[in-house]
Amino acid sequence: MAEENEKVLIICEKPDAAMRVAKALDEKEGPIKRQIKGVPYYEARRDGRRLVIVPALGHLYTVAPKIKDREVYPVFDFYWLPKHVAERGSKHTKTWIEVISRLSKEADSFILATDYDIEGATLGYTILKYACGGKEGEAKRMKFSTLTVNELRESYRNLQSHIEFPLVEAGVCRHFVDAIYGINLSRAMTIAAKKYSGKYSTLSTGRVQGPTLNFLVAREKEINSFVPIPYWKVTAKVRISGSIYIAQYEKTSIENLSEAERIVKECENSQGTVVNVEVRSIRQSPPKPFDLGTLQTEAYGIFKYTPQRTLNIAERLYLQALISYPRTASQKLPPSINYREILKSLGRSSKYERLSNLLLSKERLVPNEGKRQDPAHPAIYPTGNLPEKTLSEPERRLWDLIVRRFMAVFGDDAVKQSMKVTLDINGYRFHLRGRRIIEEGWMKFYRPYTRTEEVLLPSITEGDKVEVIEIIREDKFTNPPPRHNPSSLLKKMEEVEIGTKATRAEIIETLYKRGYIVDERIKVTDLGFDVINVLMKYCPTVISVDFTRDLERSMEAIQNGNEKMQNVIDKAVNHLRPVLETFKKREKEIGQALSEAIRKARFQDRYVGTCPTCKTGSLMILYSKRTGKRFLGCTNYFRGLCKTSYPLPQKGTIKPARKNCKLCGWPLILVKARGKRPWNLCFNPNCPSKTERSS
Catalytic residues: 325
Helix 209-224 crosses helix 486-496 at what angle (to 10 degrees)? 120
Residue 113 CA to residue 90 CA, distance in Å, equals 23
Residue 343 CA to residue 207 CA, distance in Å, equals 43
DSSP 635: G
Positive or negative, the CA dihedral 164, 53, 382, 347 is positive
Helix 292-303 crosses helix 307-319 at what angle (to 10 degrees)? 110
DSSP 109: E
CB neighbour list of residue 361: distance below 8 Å, 6 or more residues apart: none
Query: Is 172 in contact with 179 (CB distance < 8 Å)?
Result: no
Residue 681 CA to residue 671 CA, distance in Å, equals 7
Closest of 139, 199, 152, 141 to residue 46, by C-alpha? 152
Helices and strands: H and E segment counts in the chain: 21, 23
What count of other Cβ atoms lies within 10 Å of the Cβ of residue 500? 22
CB neighbour list of residue 178: distance below 8 Å, 6 or more residues apart: 63, 206, 207, 208
Query: Is 644 in contact with 626 (CB distance < 8 Å)?
Result: no
Query: Is 188 in contact with 73 (CB distance < 8 Å)?
Result: yes
For 612, the 3-state DSSP assignment is coil
**HEC readout, 267-316:** HCCCEEEEEEEEEEEEEECCCCCECHHHHHHHHHHHHCCCHHHHHHHHHH
Residue 679 CA to residue 662 CA, distance in Å, equals 14
**HEC readout, 162-230:** CCCHHHHHHHHHHHHHHHHHHHHHHHHHHHHHHHHHCCCCCCCCCCCHHHHHHHHHHHHHHHHCCCCCE
Residue 248 CA to residue 422 CA, distance in Å, equals 10
DSSP 455: B
Residue 648 CA to residue 670 CA, distance in Å, equals 11
Question: Amino acid identity of 452?
Answer: T
Query: Is 326 in contact with 311 (CB distance < 8 Å)?
Result: yes
Residue 297 CA to residue 28 CA, distance in Å, equals 44
What count of other Cβ atoms lies within 10 Å of the Cβ of residue 641? 13
